[in-house]
Amino acid sequence: MNTAYVSALDVTAGLVLFAAVMTLWRRGVRTIVSILGVQGLSLSAVALVLAIHEHDTALLVTGGLVLVLKGIVIPGLLLRASRLDPKSRETRPLVNVPASLVAAAVLIVLSYVVSARITSLAPSDATRLVPLGMATILVGYFMLVTRRRAVSKIVGLILVDNGIGLVAYLLTSGVPFIVELGSSIDVLLVVVVLQFLMVSMGRHSDVDVLTERRELRD
């Protein structure tokens, strides 16, 4: 039972980070969004595994919520948004793909270094995985900085949020349900607002490449 719990936790948490790396690897915007969906599902799986192991009903509900919101609703909305330009690809990211991947490797090692102190505070099967969450946050932020397409930027933002979620589950075995609800809804709101923005920007001019836009301050 315990080994099954440990490997399930390891694999699901590993998948969250793996999905984050995959978003840097692939170019098709729709593919990236699908990977985000996989990440949402893995994140909810982490919560569910923890919930079952700790017999924590609130966490169970949170996991379900994450499953629905981050696994299905948000990726669905983003897929709809990217349907405006179905062939949209991350053709020329600010940092090219191989360099991004090497950077991701460095970020993963870095998060292992910086998390060592946090992990050593309360070593347990869950807390030792904190570096993965930290790495997801860093990789997400990297994505946010270096990708040009609006959808990719949103994906980067959600990666950061998922990473924070992962760290929170692993460290505290679940944030209070209401906090998770609040943050998820925030993210949802951001997605919806950005989707509106993108649609209007898309009407305005055909591109959603953000680097060319310098007049966004007013």
Partner 1 sequence: MTWYLVALSLGALAAIAGATLPRRVRVPVAAALGALGCAVSLVAAVGDLIDGRTILVHSDRLLPFSGVSLTLDPLAALFVVLSSLVGVAACLYLVGYAHGPSASRSAVSIFMVFVLALSVVPLASNIVSFMFAWELMALSSLLLIVTDQAQRPKARSAALWYAAMTQAGAVSITLGLLLCASRAPGQSFVDIAASSSTLSATTRTAAFVLVLLGFASKAGAVPLHVWLPKAHPEAPSPVSALMSSAMVSMGVYGIVRVGGDLLHGGTVGWWVAVAALGIVSAVYGALHATTASDFKRLLAFSTIDIMGLSLIGVGAAGVLEDSGMHADATLAMMAALLLLVAHAAFKGALFLGAGSVERATGTRNLDRLGGLVHTMPTTSVVVALSAGAIMAVPTLSGFSSEWLLLQGLLHGFTDTSTPVVIVMLLGVVALALTGGLTAVAFVKAFGIGFLGQPRSAGARDSREVSRWMGWGSALLVLPSLVLGLVPGLVVSLINRAADTGLGGVATTPVSTGAGLALSQLRGAIEPAALLGALVGVMVVLALAARTLGQRRARRVDAWGCGREEQTPRMQYTATSFAEPLQRVFADVLRPQMDVEVTHAVESRYFQQSLTYHHRIADVVEVRAYRPVFGVVHRVGVLARRLQNGSIHRYLAFGFVALLVVVVVLA
Partner 2 sequence: MNRVALSVCTSVLQLALVGVGSLVLLGLMAKVKARAEGRVGSPVVQPLRDIRKLLTKERLHARHSSVVLALAPMVITASAAVAVGISPIIGTHPVLGQSADIFVIVYLLLTGSVASALAGLDPATAFGGMGASRAMTIGALAEPALLVAVIALSVQAGTSNLPGIVSSTASHPAWVFGPVHLFALGALLIVVLAETGRIPVDNPATHLELTMVHEAMVLEYAGPELALVTLGEAMRLGLLFSLVANLFLPWGVATGDSLGALAIACAALVAKTTTLALVVALIEVRSAKLRLFRLPELLAGGFVLSVLAVVMGLVIR
Q: Which DSSP letter does residue 67 get?
A: I
Contacts with partner 2 by CB under 8 A lie at: 3, 6-7, 10-11, 13-15, 17-18, 21, 25, 97-98, 101-102, 104-105, 108-109, 112, 128-129, 131-132, 135
Question: Quick one: 44 or 119, whose CB is closer to partner 1?
Answer: 119
Q: Which helix (H) or strand (E) holds 19?
A: helix 2-25
**53 or 128: CB nearest partner 1:** 128
- Residue 99 as a binder of partner 1 (CB under 8 A): the answer is yes
CB 187, CB 129: distance < 8 Å? no
Cross-strand pairs, 209: 149
Query: Which amino acid would we find at residue 169?
Result: Y
> What minimum distance in Å lies between the beta carbon of 37 and partner 2?
19
Minimum CB–partner distance for residue 183 and partner 2 (Å): 25
Q: Does 116 bind partner 1 (CB under 8 A)?
A: yes
* E strand or H helix at 125: none
Name the token pair of 192. Answer: 């919806």
**What is the total count of residues that contact partner 1 (CB under 8 A)?**
8
189 binds partner 1 (CB under 8 A): no
Neighbours of 34 (CB within 10 A): 18
CA 13 to each of CA 114, 177, 207: distance values in angstroms, whole numbers, following the listed order: 18, 20, 36
**Distance between terminal CA atoms of the chain?**
58
Question: Which of partner 1, partner 2, none does residue 113 bind (CB under 5 to 8 Å by kind)?
Answer: partner 1
Query: Measured from the CB atom, is 139 or 175 closer to partner 1?
Result: 139
- As a whole number of angstroms, the distance between CA 9 and CA 20 comes to 17
Binding residue (CB under 8 A) for partner 1 from 4, 97, 109, 122 = 109
Q: What are the residues binding partner 1 (CB under 8 A)?
A: 96, 98-99, 105, 109, 112-113, 116
